[in-house]
Chain A
Amino acid sequence: MPEPPHDGLLTDLGRRLVSSSLTDAAIQKATEATPNLALLPWVNVVKIGGQSIMDRGRSAVWPLVDEIVANLSRHKMILGTGAGTRARHVYSLAIDLGLPVGVLTVLGTAVAWQNAQMLQYLLAKHGIAFLEPEGFNSLPHYLMERGAVICQGMPPYKLWESNPTVGRIPPERTDTGCFLIAEVFGARKMIYVKDEDGLFTADPKKDPTAVHIPRISVQELLARDLNDLVVERAVLNLMLNARNIREIQFVNGLKPGQLTAALDGEPVGTIIYKDGGPRTGPPTPPDNPGPPAGLRS
């Protein structure tokens, strides 16, 4: 049993946090036992690919926007955007100029921002807002009132992005940013909308013998050490440590109905899941209650 706080201000854990080094593994382990509250357990994070969807223009984006609108009354969505071709260009130019990873991150963020802004123009008439990271405190309100919000997918690390193990490309880009949004809010689903039916044994655009993988554990996927992945490697590493998000799904946004199917819980595309039990026993809300009934539109 935990001892009662001796001064009425701090819990037992609190007293240890104040008096010990945070690098002490025993202190870190003690924090493991605290509950994992899912802040927005009914929200779905949907990442719209940059190169795979946005760069294709009207033929890909308009039908997907229609599908998003059709789901607004049934599913709450945080819509994050990827970067794409312009990011590839600005990365190559900035690398040529000798600029560091943090600067490339600032530049890449601007491209994801452009895509988010374009998506917001297309969804404007449905009252969908575009929130910058600084505006995320208003996110629950917009989700309740309008059913969705748009954000740019890059995490707000900017100059503080860490170097990759190999090369000069920022390792944590829009797949990672969207995953971390889903993780921190304890989202119902993390869905990546790209231009493939999910994960293959090789890049299906280059290799005709590539075989579709409908479901795979993150541990097995990392062990396979594929040359090309459907998702940023950082997402797979973060999944191992995640507390709330236990699986992520990849669907083909060029095929009408796949996003809807994923939102409805169907196993379309590819699901990457974390093997093993939950890290702690979180007080999971009973069977995803959804938003309060009175606020459902």
Chain B
Amino acid sequence: MDKQVIARTESPVRAILPNLNVVQIGGLSIMDRGHTSVLPLLDEIVANQDRHTQVIGVGPGVRARHILSVGLDLGLPTGALATLAAKSSAQNAYMVSCLLASHGFVYLEAPFIVQLLPAMLAAARGAVFNGIPPYDLWEHPPEIGKLPPHGSDAGAYLVGEVFGARTVILLKDVDGLYTADPKTDPNATFIPDISAADLLAKQLPTLPIEPAVLHLLTRAKLVKSVRIVNGLVAGNLTRALDGEPVGTFIHH
């Protein structure tokens, strides 16, 4: 398509579900820790149910790392690895939906997000979805190596962006972003607020968020920020939902 034709399509986008809050529960960081971490967090989600419409994305975790390792060893391509890893986060999402079932949350696979999310939110009291986007065999080969670049952070962000959500909150096991990994470097200092472009320019060796999300944020139309919050600290999710400055705020 002609560049000028594409440029002429630039125009405002409408938010489809502007009251939606997308809350992403980390796989390795939260789910894999079991009930001591997961249950208090789910209680906090339920406590916020009356005030905030929440859809809960869930990440994979150690089982995805394991199948990535076996799949890589077998020589499988990135698209095949993405298809396999997505089943690990589907398991985690299904477990979360069972634990929230008595509070009216439903588990929605990707086709049902496409067709039924608004109806489900009108009828049910929340929804749980697989954080990994349904790219499957069509996942992009990454710039370095073979790991699928679009994980559950990217999938949760994209759900927020397409519906024009009020917030996208990524729950992890760290307080947010640091200049270095605080688990290994005592000199690491906390970054409460940063733009996606600045963060990409810093080229930090590791990040608590998928770099794909930072690239997506630079092209955002509706959801121009995400917040990384420590989901192991009681009250953090509530504060983030209420718009308080907790964790790290990464913006357009």
Point out residues on A near B: beta carbons under 8 Å: 9-11, 13-14, 17-18, 20-25, 27-32, 34-37, 39, 91, 95-103, 106, 133, 136, 155-169, 177, 180-181, 183-186, 203, 227-228, 232, 238, 241-244, 283
Q: Which residue on B lies nearest to A102, using beta carbons?
A: B162
- Interface status of B114 (Cβ within 8 A of chain A): yes
- Interface status of B136 (Cβ within 8 A of chain A): yes
CA gap between A24 and B211 in the complex, in Å:
11
- Interface status of B134 (Cβ within 8 A of chain A): yes
State how many angstroms separate the Cβ of B186 from the closest Cβ of chain A. 18
* Inter-subunit contact A32/B144 (CB<8 Å): yes
- Interface status of B247 (Cβ within 8 A of chain A): no
Question: With contacts A13-B69, A160-B155 known, is A23 near B211, CB below 8 A?
Answer: yes
CA gap between A283 and B75 in the complex, in Å:
9
Offer 21 A-B interface pairs, CB within 8 angstroms, sorted by A. Answer: A13-B69, A14-B69, A14-B73, A30-B145, A31-B145, A32-B146, A34-B72, A39-B77, A96-B11, A100-B14, A100-B161, A101-B221, A106-B114, A155-B135, A157-B138, A160-B158, A161-B162, A163-B161, A165-B219, A168-B10, A169-B6
Q: Which residue on A lies nearest to B212, using beta carbons?
A: A162
* Inter-subunit contact B114/A159 (CB<8 Å): yes
* Inter-subunit contact A167/B134 (CB<8 Å): no
> Which residues of chain B in 1-60 are interfacial with respect to chain A, using CB atoms and an 8 Å cutoff?
1-4, 6-14, 16
Q: Which residue on B lies nearest to A183, using beta carbons?
A: B141
Question: With contacts A160-B158, A165-B219 known, is A34 near B2, CB below 8 A?
Answer: no
Contact code string B126-144 (vs A, CB < 8 Å = 1, else 0) = 0000000111111111111
State how many angstroms separate the Cβ of A239 from the closest Cβ of chain B. 10
* Inter-subunit contact A97/B14 (CB<8 Å): yes
Question: With contacts A31-B145, A32-B144, A160-B135 known, is A99 near B207, CB below 8 A?
Answer: no
CA gap between A29 and B66 in the complex, in Å:
17
- A18: chain B residues within 8 A (beta carbon): 62, 65-66, 69
State how many angstroms separate the Cβ of A165 from the closest Cβ of chain B. 6
CA gap between A10 and B219 in the complex, in Å:
39
Please name 6 further chain A to chain B contacts, defined as beta carbons within 8 Å, in addition to the given A28-B147, A34-B72, A243-B146, sorted by A numbering.
Answer: A9-B66, A31-B147, A155-B138, A163-B216, A180-B137, A184-B137
- A11: chain B residues within 8 A (beta carbon): 69, 73
Q: Which 9 A-B pairs have the closest CB atoms?
A: A14-B69, A37-B75, A98-B14, A184-B79, A102-B162, A35-B75, A28-B145, A31-B145, A155-B138
- B3: chain A residues within 8 A (beta carbon): 166, 227-228
* Inter-subunit contact B206/A23 (CB<8 Å): yes
- A30: chain B residues within 8 A (beta carbon): 145
- Interface status of B113 (Cβ within 8 A of chain A): yes
CA gap between A37 and B6 in the complex, in Å:
37
- Interface status of B80 (Cβ within 8 A of chain A): yes
Q: Which residue on A lies nearest to B144, using beta carbons?
A: A28
* Inter-subunit contact B140/A99 (CB<8 Å): no
Q: Which residue on A lies nearest to B206, using beta carbons?
A: A21
> Which residues of chain B in 197-250 are interfacial with respect to chain A, using CB atoms and an 8 Å cutoff?
205-211, 216, 219-222
Chain B: interface size category: 35 or more
Question: With contacts A133-B137, A163-B219, A169-B9 known, is A227 near B2, CB below 8 A?
Answer: yes
Q: Number of contacts between A and B (CB, 8 Å)?
A: 198
CA gap between A283 and B74 in the complex, in Å:
12
- Interface status of B76 (Cβ within 8 A of chain A): yes
State how many angstroms separate the Cβ of B93 from the closest Cβ of chain A. 15
CA gap between A23 and B13 in the complex, in Å:
32
* Inter-subunit contact B9/A157 (CB<8 Å): no
Contact code string B109-134 (vs A, CB < 8 Å = 1, else 0) = 01001100000000000000000011
Instruction: Choose among B133, B134, B137, B155 the residue with the greatest number of A CB atoms under 10 Å from its CB.
Output: B137
- B209: chain A residues within 8 A (beta carbon): 23
State how many angstroms separate the Cβ of B24 from the closest Cβ of chain A. 14
* Inter-subunit contact B73/A243 (CB<8 Å): no
- A95: chain B residues within 8 A (beta carbon): 9, 11
* Inter-subunit contact B77/A17 (CB<8 Å): no
Question: With contacts A31-B147, A32-B144 known, is A183 near B74, CB below 8 A?
Answer: no
- Interface status of B167 (Cβ within 8 A of chain A): no
State how many angstroms separate the Cβ of A128 from the closest Cβ of chain B. 20
* Inter-subunit contact A17/B65 (CB<8 Å): yes
* Inter-subunit contact A166/B110 (CB<8 Å): no
- Interface status of B164 (Cβ within 8 A of chain A): yes
* Inter-subunit contact A238/B145 (CB<8 Å): no
- A133: chain B residues within 8 A (beta carbon): 136-138
Contact code string B66-90 (vs A, CB < 8 Å = 1, else 0) = 1011101111111110000000000
Q: Which residue on B lies nearest to A92, using beta carbons?
A: B9
* Inter-subunit contact B144/A14 (CB<8 Å): no
* Inter-subunit contact B114/A34 (CB<8 Å): no
CA gap between A158 and B193 in the complex, in Å:
31
* Inter-subunit contact A167/B220 (CB<8 Å): no
CA gap between A177 and B140 in the complex, in Å:
10
